[in-house]
Chains A and B, each alone.
Chain A
């Protein structure tokens, strides 16, 4: 038990942060209230630093049997903390702005009942803790609770992100549909329990192995798994659970939208990977043949194709930048499912890398939107971006770079992410899937290039002239940091990839570093592989 707790130190540490900031948010002194986001950043930074120190080999050896993917936590927690820091920056100055302005000018008195900044960051951190806990899940209950810990705070965050009815409507929709998806997910888990008689993931793995050896998984397990996958599709915004995305993403403030597009999606992706790890990617279609059991494969295949295609087609029709990015978020989930279908080690590594890449790109795009406003309201329409270059050249360039990266333009981060995913797909034999993804990528250029062309090439319109940047500098810093990440991270892609490769190791010598190392790192490829 102590050994398991050892790996929960980052979560426990962040939970300590939750306690601290919930108190700080209610302080009378304005300085302390304003310091809340910085304290959040501090806690996340410390968690980022201590995580790699905790994952030592001897500690891992003690829990190795209890977890399906023991090393998952190290990579995911570091990525979540790093992106969490940028997302915090993006949220600075967002909550309680009118109230704080009134207090600062003396028009109103501070009233602890009316402030919600502390709560916002409490929920923010709790949601991040949820993702981190998913990595440590060793049974279905833990997995479900961790997923819900990720999602539940986001419902509140959507509601309090802006003082408008749109946000509240979005939160209600998000909550109800989320509850429905969770029930489908739980139903699937119940069937899985019924089929295997255990809720412990490692024991389920053994039970499934026995079933597979005895001639295939039993029907109960298959139905359960399909339902669980469909239920968790809600978290990753995949078809058919994607309907809420556009409305909710549009309703929430940009900072929260960026959060929604990364945090629950990461949790959902990890949950899918963990669930599928119990089934395994081999031995179902005959001894020695790679591949998921057929019904599961068909489910994922259809989800993947529909998600990519509907996401991209939906995005083409949007006039609102946030809705466009919402559909783009759907499409990117579809791309990631290719890696899931391809399976370990290449596919899962590619998904983990893509989660990081998508987190950075997506945050960059929303950071640009979040850094701009008109009369205190965030901008939404694509037309507002027209001619951005003339007024805010740096933000326009960030948007342009991000759009190129989202299309998958070499040598930016998005290109590498897609490259690894598609390579994994091809190596696993899913050429048709990769072809569909390529066609989808081409379609996606249609609308991403608008994000490039409008800010950089179009002339400002009378409406877009009135746009100003938010008074706090932090959203712009977040935009800059993520843009640097989009351009700079490919330079250390070799290292990032080896970090994600360390998560799942197999005996075969096939990691990408051997096969397709285009790394620009200065070390020989052999040294990059983690022990």
Chain B
């Protein structure tokens, strides 16, 4: 609470307060807090079990063919309870604890052990994540109860079962006390994501997107699995507490451990980049927008994609063993942020724009982690969860209202339409957060904590990264408001999408009527927006969440307190300036003079020297095509060659050949089982005799053989 109070005062003090946060740092690094075993906290396990129960109950609803909104209410109720228990856990939290739930895997003996139990590791980092995961999860399930109502007769229960599975897996991921349980959750969220992206399984593009997400994630998961193995190999444990104790003892170093320790952070990184959609594994996220919009909001914007950030934050001590790895994290993050922002500028599909913006913002988070601003990164995760959820949910309202229309050129003037006012204004605020409008938006505060740090931390090219971050901030403001000015402002004009309208709002007299959101959707939008406003004041609080966790590595300080010496002083001005400039540019091209935007684009396309830029941006820099060429082509070819090899060499020559041997043997023995009693009796007696003779001749035989061999040798 001290942090929050300080924030209120700080907000009054405008920018100078940021210096205070930097001054919060006592020393460059602090010992890792070691968790204690908590007794009598078993009830916290229900945070994990409630979503699991919800899954089972939704599954039952599906099996019993429930055709009403029961699955939604089950999910909202149980997830809400889970959220309340998380709140309770947070209120009584005072130090990191391990809560043992049940034994899962206990292997080994005196020489080695492999212990992975169902236990919860609760420190403030866990709580920070759990609060927004369960909180937003509940709200988005509530939103979905209305959004998905067209499917009440179809996959309604399946949808909510998927949401519950996701929450269960995400909870396991975040609250795990060992890497194996984290991996379980990691795969679980991947599976839930696959399940929900492919929710409209009759749509080929959704199925393809689900497969793509799953396969690209597998590449990252391979890294994570190898990292877990190497951690176990080097430190002899996968439990956080034992691992951090081992690291804290200082007896491990990357130099002494050789490649097998040095490789760990890079492999972890691969896992994190897969899950959090960073270069080179980001390509699945835009396609994941094929899923229903609440899924995009919950899984592919607010929660699951931050799992990679969580992994890096949780394993921060391991990354610090090999500081060069953090530089890689920072650079990948920065480049992803820029690349995704340029792509987002040229897209027309609202959800895809927001998807690229998610990738871009995740890039900021990794940049923050890599530049030792774990506070900034965690705070940005927290604020981003709110405003990105709102953005997706409002995009969902547009889709829902205009029969699946997601092209920003085909919907305009939404704020003048009756029923869409709340949508327009919550979207406006969320866009402002994304753009980083000064003072009143949470994105502003979290983003420039990271950007300023780029000019403080010393690392290869961090200043250049800072410049990239500033450019990206400008682009972000532009594309965010491009969406808002196009869709919500301007003259009223809309075209319906291609989805078949339901009976409820069928076009009357051939004219399409937008379907305005009702209570549940509006309520959720308002609540999350209020949360976004509230999170402005929570920077200190989010900072505290980091302090006694494993990510507690304090950011380096600025080398002076003057305005120009401390980037925390001037960065807010720069950030405000580029943000407002971006909005102004967007306002000119997409509100005041929409023809100018098209004119500019046409002019660039007409000029051979600049034609490549808009084309490449619109085509996502051809990365999908590049991957196709680089990986899918060779794999396809290799697959076909191996297929031929398998069919002709393995199957025909080896397998069938080997299989023929026992079958021939069998045919040889078959005459013995001819069904005649006497022959059976003779065979049995003969068998007994034969075995008896063999048994008593065998020693002599063995003896003779060994003598003969010995003689020969």
Contact = CB atoms under 8 A, between A and B. Distances in A.
Given A173-B677, A298-B694, A522-B103, A240 B109 contact: no
Chain A, interface SS category: helix
A230 B684 CA distance: 10
Q: How large is the interface on B (under 10, 10 to 19, 20 to 34, 35 or more residues)?
A: 35 or more
A316 B677 contact: no
B680 A515 contact: no
A522 B663 contact: no
Contact of B687 (A239, A295, A298): A239
Interface string B304-319: 0000000000000000
Contacts of A177: 677, 680-681, 684
Contacts of B694: 298, 302
A436 interface: no
A243 B683 contact: yes
A246 interface: yes
A310 B109 contact: no
A295 B107 CA distance: 37
B563 interface: no
Contacts of B662: 312-313, 316, 443
B103 A241 contact: no
Interface in B675-695: 675, 677, 680-681, 683-688, 690-692, 694-695
A310 B673 CA distance: 12
Given A172-B677, A177-B681, A522-B102, A241 B687 contact: yes
Contact of B106 (A181, A226, A239, A525): A525
A518 to B, nearest CB: 7
Contacts of B105: 518
A241 B665 CA distance: 19
Contacts of A176: 677, 681
B670 A317 contact: yes
Contacts of A522: 102-103
A316 B665 CA distance: 11
A523 B694 CA distance: 49
A291 to B, nearest CB: 14
A276 to B, nearest CB: 15
Nearest to A302: B691
A243 B103 contact: no
A240 B683 contact: yes
Contact of A524 (B103, B665, B680): B103
Nearest to B698: A298
A462 B368 CA distance: 68
Contacts of A244: 680
Interface in A487-519: 514-519
A520 B104 contact: yes
Given A299-B695, A314-B666, A523-B103, A514 B680 contact: no
B464 interface: no
Contacts of B258: none
Nearest to B667: A317
A302 B694 CA distance: 10
Contacts of A525: 103, 106
Given A172-B677, A523-B103, A524-B103, A180 B685 contact: yes
Given A176-B677, A302-B694, A314-B673, A517 B684 contact: no
B659 interface: yes
B696 interface: yes
Contacts of A516: 107
B250 interface: no
A227 interface: yes
B688 A240 contact: yes
A252 B104 CA distance: 44
Given A313-B665, A316-B666, A515 B109 contact: yes
A299 B691 CA distance: 7
A184 B680 contact: no
B672 interface: yes
A223 B698 CA distance: 14
B675 A247 contact: yes
A310 B677 contact: no
Contact of B684 (A241, A246, A521, A524): A241
Contacts of B663: 313, 316-317
B267 to A, nearest CB: 26
B692 A243 contact: no
A234 B692 CA distance: 16
A227 B693 CA distance: 12
Contact of B673 (A227, A246, A294): A246
A6 interface: no
B631 interface: no
Nearest to B104: A520
Interface of B: 102-107, 109, 659, 662-663, 665-667, 669-670, 672-673, 675, 677, 680-681, 683-688, 690-692, 694-696, 698-699
Interface of A: 172-173, 176-177, 180-181, 184, 223, 226-227, 230, 234, 239-241, 243-244, 246-247, 294-295, 298-299, 302-303, 310, 312-314, 316-317, 443, 446, 514-525
Given A180-B681, A313-B665, A518-B105, 4 more contacts: A240-B687, A246-B673, A295-B695, A313-B666
6 contacts: A177-B677, A223-B692, A247-B675, A314-B669, A316-B662, A443-B662
Which 9 interchain pairs have the tightest Cβ spacing? Answer: A240-B687, A243-B680, A313-B666, A522-B102, A313-B662, A317-B666, A295-B695, A230-B688, A299-B695
